[in-house]
Amino acid sequence: MADIEDFGISIRDAIFREVASNILIHREYTNAFPAKMIIERGQVRTENSNKPHGLGVLDPATFTPFPKNPVIGAFFREIHRADELGSGMRKLMKYGKAYGGDDPQMVEGDVFRIVVKVPEFGSVAPAATDLETAQVATDGASAVTGQVAGEVAGEVTGEVTGEVIQLLKVLSGTALSRKILQERLGLKGEANFRQRYLAPALSDDLIEMTQPDSPKSPTQKYRLTNAGKHLLKSVQE
């Protein structure tokens, strides 16, 4: 099922060309949060810094594309590494289910996440052995170079960071505001707290907002999800 024989193209290549292009074109380059491709059994997911224009899982039926880096997008179209705005989501939805058996997910937030299901053979997902990955510079105004298909920024990891575990421990009792969380963690810098603690925990669905429809509310608080509670329990045991 890895190839569309009628057209002579690889579904896998088409999917991950769009995934890698999305990381590079739509990244929020002023944010130091590292871009990642995380290869897990049965799925590949990416995390990328983002300036959100909404929150939650994107619905292809109602999704309206927004040009986040139009100059970079225009460059990629010139070198034939991207198509018109919004085409990436359509291609992911078109090929994703045929490739991995389920529709890909795109989740909008401070960290933009894509989850693509991949087929498994035995105990090893083909993504873990077949996907070629390479470092892509993403700091500040770093140059965008090289072949996009198969290139991806960041490290491959399936582990939760120590910073996120610390955050979960502080939230083990009740919902808390960002300010209180920073105080209890002994952190002064808001940007550092958001990038290393808050954003990864939200991205991995380990914590959630008490007011998800008003993410910038001055009374916003954060609490553990069921997944966060289970993870914290396993760590403490």
pLDDT tens digits, residue range 18-57?
Answer: 888 888 888 998 888 889 889 888 889 999 988 887 788 8
How far apart CA 134 and CA 131 sit, in angstroms, is 10
Of residues 133 and 218, the one with the higher pLDDT is 218
CATH class of 3-130: alpha beta
Q: Which helix (H) or strand (E) holds 43?
A: strand 43-49
In the sheet where 43-49 sits, what is the strand order? 36-40, 43-49, 111-117, 105-108, 56-57
Domain borders along the chain are: 3-130, 162-236
Quote the pTM value.
0.48
Same fold for the domain at 3-130 and the one at 162-236?
no
Counts of helices then strands in the chain (DSSP H, E)? 9, 10
- Confidence label for 85 from pLDDT (cuts 50, 70 and 90): low
| Closest among 16, 46, 33, 41 to 156, alpha carbons compared | 46
pLDDT tens digits, residue range 105-149?
Answer: 888 888 999 999 888 643 333 333 333 333 333 333 333 333 333
CATH for 162-236 (3.30.460.20, 1.10.760.10, 3.40.50.2300, 1.10.10.10)? 1.10.10.10
| Closest among 182, 127, 138 to 48, alpha carbons compared | 138
